[in-house]
Structure 1
Amino acid sequence: MSSPATPTHGQATDVRIAEVVAACKRYGGSSIIALAGVPGTGKSHIGRIAAQRVAGDPLRVREVQFHQSTTYEEFVEGLRIDASGAIVQEPGLFLEWNDLALDNPELKWVLLIEELSRANVSAVLGELMTFVEDRNRPFTATYSRRPIRVAPNLVLLATYNPSDRSALDIDNALLRRLRVINFPADSGQLADMLAAQLPANVMTRLSGLFSSIEQQHPDDFQDLMPFGHGIFAEVRQESPDLHELWRERIRHMLRRPLVQPHPFTDAIEAAYPWRDPEYAEP
């Protein structure tokens, strides 16, 4: 019996998925594969699909979202109080998944970390900062004192927004362990999402929005564009969807009370024709 065909997500999207899968297979045994892009550039969507393809089974993919209060004790291992009131050592999410990978070396396992830079990454990863790239060397766990080796068949895949202020705190020690794949806004993936729902003239104007901003801000477009093509994912028709998207989401990203407007505000306002609810194509 032939194996089922790999589902397609559109030409441009499939190219990005394949790129991430290839990086995971080539470098996932010694680096953290990091997908970097502003919100709405598809990095989480593509990361989940790629993770499942690398693992070969969604049950061997685990997701965690970092935040400001994420700790080493949660992620690697810590101390807990059990039902009897005793203090016991308990593995964190990473060690649980790593142990499964060590026990099943013939299989691939993936840990997908969303919003990597939101946490104090150096503190959360602890010893992993050193041993994620040298997986033949065991380290001694802080609380259990047991020797631990990072499984060579465990892939660490992460996403982060390089424009977050917290991303500026990523130090050089962590950057050396990252393989960064950039995810800019992409008109090809935009077409993959919407070409079946919207007429060609509307798609042309939507794609023109991104190309216009990139032409005006070529050096900063990738890192400072306030949104990516994914912001249009729920659009099903030109009106009222594109008008409501402006009114309810986009304009609030550009102009906020008591805060300087986004540096691309004037360019985005000029390039987005659906700001006027009475807009009609000439």
Structure 2
Amino acid sequence: MAEEHVRYPEFWLRLPKSGQVARGRLLTEKGTKGRQKFVVAAGSPVRSKVVPSFAVRKPASFRVRQELIAAGSIRESDSRQGSLETTLDIEFTSPSAAAEVLMGCSVNGWGVWKSADGESLAAHLNQTVTGPNRPWLVRGSNVTGLDLVQRLWLPEGRVTLAAARLRQGVEQGVNKETLRAFVEEDYESTATYSQRQQLVEELHVFLSRMKPGDTVCTISGGQLYVGEITGDAEQVDSEDRRSNLQRPVEWQQNGYPYDDLPEELQQKLSIQHDVVDLTPVQAHVEGLGLTDQELLEEAEAIERDPSVEIPALTARRELKLPEPTDALAAELLVHDADWLREVRDLMWDERQLVLYGPPGTGKTYLALKLAEFLGGGPEQVKLVQFHPSYAYEDFFEGFRPQEDPQTREVAFRLTAGPLRELADLASREGNRHIPHFLIIDEINRANLAKVFGELYFLLEYRNKSVRLTYSGDDFALPPNLFVIGTMNTADRSIALVDAAMRRRFAFIELSPRTEPTSGLLRRWLEKEGKDAEPADLLDALNSRIDDPDFRIGPSYLMKKGVYREGGLERTWRTKILPLLEEHHYGEGVDIEKRYGLASLRESLA
């Protein structure tokens, strides 16, 4: 035993609240599954209580703790009242198993065991791989036709990569450039250039970026399985060449149904690579299977700083769209707050909707005001206007000429468009529970399939990711990003909207024949203390227009200039009658006689 202790110094584990310190050493000996063993010294303190989730979350450590207590290897302390202690040196399968038994909760032993100078065990062993622990996705459910997760990983406590043609002797911690040279030579005739580049990335993660204490996830049979990496990478010559690179893993006993996972986590898990960094959704992974109360109890057990919010709870902070109030309905001059609530519910369910109707029905104004209310302010709202020459590169991302401010040279650089900018803002930590809105004015004037590109898919499948055309990034629309489009029906373009567009958006009509538009002008005139004649004239005008898509909206008459001397006549002559002339072009209709103010006033009289 003494020889095993020579290589590593003593590490300490401070128990929360009591301040008592347990002592232990890492052993050179490894268990049957490749885990590096850890021994806890006799007389080390042990927490007397375990958190309620311990038995479910870490059943193996819970069972070991119970067995040690039953055997007397852990008993009540004579010197520390109300505490337990070890009565002899106890050997554990890993540093995490040791820490979990001592603390009675799920904890990462590679981070909590510290040397005398405060260096974590992981940092001491992996000087080239430092920093906080990360979660990784490694796919194993279809490795050349076999489900290695059920066949090998879970039963034997491992995670593997095929690396069937990678030469023997590649060491853990190998740098990427050396690994790239190996892959280029070893896979030259069996993989394409892009396949070799992707393989370099995945092998480098497995060999040089993963470290003991990191979390590993995998999917099999509609379940997400989660475990902790407990040892170094090894290169072996596996019999079927499906698992030449291996790491030991302590898997949690139960999986989590994929369909029940948070949407953001599903988005990352849908990325089609064999190895994926899940750090952006680490909080969701850490909270799997635990209630809010259990998360709080675990945080208390490890004495987490109470001033810092628990990431898993922050990630669960509910995204909400506030319910429209009567005050908002009064501000927007909407006839009934229930109509606004219905729009809000539709927005929540679909996340994309289109307000459509004739000109002047207040589509853009309503979209902006409603988005500002639901998002909590104008900072969360961005407006773009589509037009026939609008393209994907304008909307999402593309290469555009930019001048270097120092050299004054012009070069093409990848530049984010309004949707990418808003999506990046919405997906930042701290913003994920705040609704963000993209308003697309005149959405039907552009070639939507061309503008949205591969994003068209994401509008319908929000829990998926896609590979972007220019940057090559894996991208998903944040759950808190909502889209409101406006569409003018006077040009008949709504009839040209294809089925794919209709499937991805909910459509709400704003028409002069129905509320909230039909009575909007009358409510505005009453609010402004003006005579109701313009509303009567507008109603009379629209009653003479047979085609509902060409009826005139009230916003033309909701401007101050209309109510200066001669303003109504001027607006009628220059704004309204030209629309109707275009509508009746070539029909020989006398526009002035049919729609002019004199004719309408005469009919009202």
Question: AA paired with 2:520?
Answer: Q
Native 8 Å contact 1:33 1:179 kept in 2: yes
Partner of 1:207: 539
What is the Cα deviation at residue 69 of structure 1? 1.2
1:194 to 503, 525, 530: 525
Percent of residue pairs bearing the same amino acid type: 29
Q: CA deviation at 1:38?
A: 1.1
Does 1:253 find its partner at 2:579? yes
- Report Cα offsets for 1:192-228 as digits up to 9, x if no partner: 2223343245543433333x236xx3xx31x232x21
Q: Distance in 2 between matches of 1:198 and 1:266?
A: 31
Write the deviation string for residues 61-90 of structure 1: whole angstroms up to 9, x where unpaired: 011111111110010110123424443222
State which of 385, 388, 399 in structure 2 corresponds to 1:68. Answer: 388
How far did 1:255 drift?
2.2
- CA-CA distance at 1:93 after TM superposition: 1.2
* Deviation for aligned residue 1:152: 0.9
2:350 matched residue in structure 1:
27
Relative to 1, partners in 2 of residues 1:16 and 1:207: Cα closer, same or farther, differing over 3 Å?
farther
In structure 2, the CA distance between the partners of 1:268 and 1:133, relative to structure 1 (3 Å rule), is farther
Q: For residues 208 and 15 of structure 1, what CA distance do their matches in structure 2 show?
A: 28
Where does residue 90 of structure 1 map in the other structure? 415
Residue in 1 that maps onto 2:425: 100
Is the 8 Å Cα contact of residues 13 and 189 (structure 1) preserved in structure 2?
Answer: no
Please state whether the residue corresponding to 2:566 is helix, strand or coil.
helix
Query: Residue in 2 aligned with 1:135?
Result: 462
Cα 1:12–1:279 change in 2 (3 A) is same
Distance 1:94 1:131, change over 3 A: same
How big is the shift at 1:237? 4.0
Contact 2:577/2:595 (<8 A) preserved: no
Number of residue pairs matched? 266
Cα deviation for residue 114 of structure 1 reads 0.4
**In the superposition, relative to structure 1, how do residues 209 and 239 fare at CA in structure 2: closer, same or farther (>3 Å)?**
farther
Q: Secondary structure at the match of 2:425?
A: helix
Question: Counterparts of 2:568 and 2:465 in 1: how far apart (Å)?
Answer: 54
Secondary structure of 1:184's partner?
A: coil
Cα gap change, 1:245 to 1:56, in 2 (>3 Å) = same
Paired residues of 2:358 and 2:550 also in contact (CA < 8 A): yes
- Aligned equivalents of 2:342 and 2:566: distance in 1? 36
Q: Distance in 1 between matches of 2:598 and 2:338?
A: 30
RMSD: 3.2
Q: Paired residue for 1:228, among 541, 553, 559?
A: 553
Q: Is the 8 A contact 1:33 1:180 kept in 2?
A: yes
How far apart are residue 259 of structure 1 and its match? 3.7
- In the alignment, is the contact (CA less than 8 A) between 2:397 and 2:420 conserved in 1? yes
Cα deviation, residue 46, structure 1: 0.8
What secondary structure, in the 3-state scheme, does the structure 2 residue paired with 1:255 have? helix
CA contact (8 A) 1:60 1:110 kept: yes
Equivalent of 1:125 in 444, 452, 459: 452
1:65–1:16 CA distance, 2 compared to 1 (3 A): farther
Tell me by how many angstroms 1:163 deviates: 2.9
Q: Distance in 1 between matches of 2:569 and 2:338?
A: 31
Max Rg structure: 2
Give 1:130 deviation, angstroms.
Answer: 1.1
Could you report, residue by residue, the CA deviation over 1:152-181 in whole angstroms, capped at 9, with x for unpaired residues? 110011101123254443222111111000
> What is the alpha-carbon distance in structure 1 between the residues aligned to residue 455 and residue 342 of structure 2?
25
- For the residues of structure 1 that align with 2:586 and 2:554, how far apart are their CA atoms? 24
CA contact 2:572–2:597 (8 Å) conserved in 1: no
C-alpha separation in 2, matches of 1:71 and 1:14: 37
1:39 counterpart residue number: 359
Assess, with a 3 A threshold, how the Cα gap between structure 1 residues 15 and 43 changes in structure 2: closer, same or farther: farther
Partner Cα distance (2:443, 2:368) in 1: 15
- Which range moved further: 165-174 or 181-190? 165-174
**Equivalents in 1 of 2:587, 2:338: separation in Å?**
35
Identify which of 475, 496, 506 aligns with 1:169.
496
In structure 1, C-alpha distance between the alignment counterparts of 2:573 and 2:537, rounded to whole Å? 18
Q: Which runs of 5+ in 1 are unaligned?
A: none
Relative to structure 1, the CA distance from residue 202 to residue 63 in structure 2 (aligned partners, 3 Å threshold; closer, same or farther) is closer
Q: Normalising by the residue count of structure 2, what TM-score does the alignment of the two structures yield?
A: 0.40
Per-residue deviation at 1:266? 6.2
TM, length-normalised to structure 1: 0.81
Query: Cα offset for 1:269?
Result: 4.8
Q: 1:224 to 1:204 in 2, by over 3 A?
A: closer
My pick for the range that moved more, 68-77 or 168-177, is 168-177
- Structure 2 counterparts to residues 104-115 of structure 1, below 5 A: 104-115=431-442
Q: Which structure dedicates a bigger proportion of its chain to helix?
A: 1
What's the secondary structure of 1:176's corresponding residue?
helix
CA distance in 1, matches of 2:411, 2:454: 26
